[in-house]
Amino acid sequence: MSNRADDFIKGLLIGGLIGAVIGILYAPKSGKETREDIVKKADELMEKAKEEYERALEKSKKAYEAAVSRLKQMESSAKEKVGEMEEKVEELAERGKDTILDTKGRLKKAIDAGVEAFKEEKGKA
């Protein structure tokens, strides 16, 4: 977008200068007056070009600031989501740990009961 603004300003400046020079050269004035008019028109065109450049610069600055602001919002949102995911992972890990311990305890009880039943049966025989 900056290239478009630069090209516009260049075109404005060059086109304005060419138009002013041609208009002044065909005007019925003395050489001194013609030179003064050329200088005056060139100064006017330079001022217009500066104004256009400053407007384009301000517009670019606003777009940049808006993009930076949006990126900061996205970063904040991403950090929040990562925090939520970490909490869920920790919760799931804790649940998994509890489930494993519960299953381990039941399996140990079942094995102990099986061993006890085996010993009773062996004692009867």
Res 47 pLDDT > 60? yes
Interval 22-38: pLDDT, tens: 776 776 767 777 778 77
CA 74 to chain centroid, in Å, comes to 8
Interval 70-124: pLDDT, tens: 999 999 999 999 999 999 999 999 998 888 888 888 888 888 888 888 888 887 7
* Distance between CA atoms of residues 38 and 35, nearest Å: 5
Q: Quick check: pTM over 0.95?
A: no
What is the model's pLDDT at position 1? 54
Residue range(s) defining the domain that contains residue 48: 2-124
Number of domains in the chain: 1
The count of other CB atoms within 10 Å of the CB of residue 5 is 16
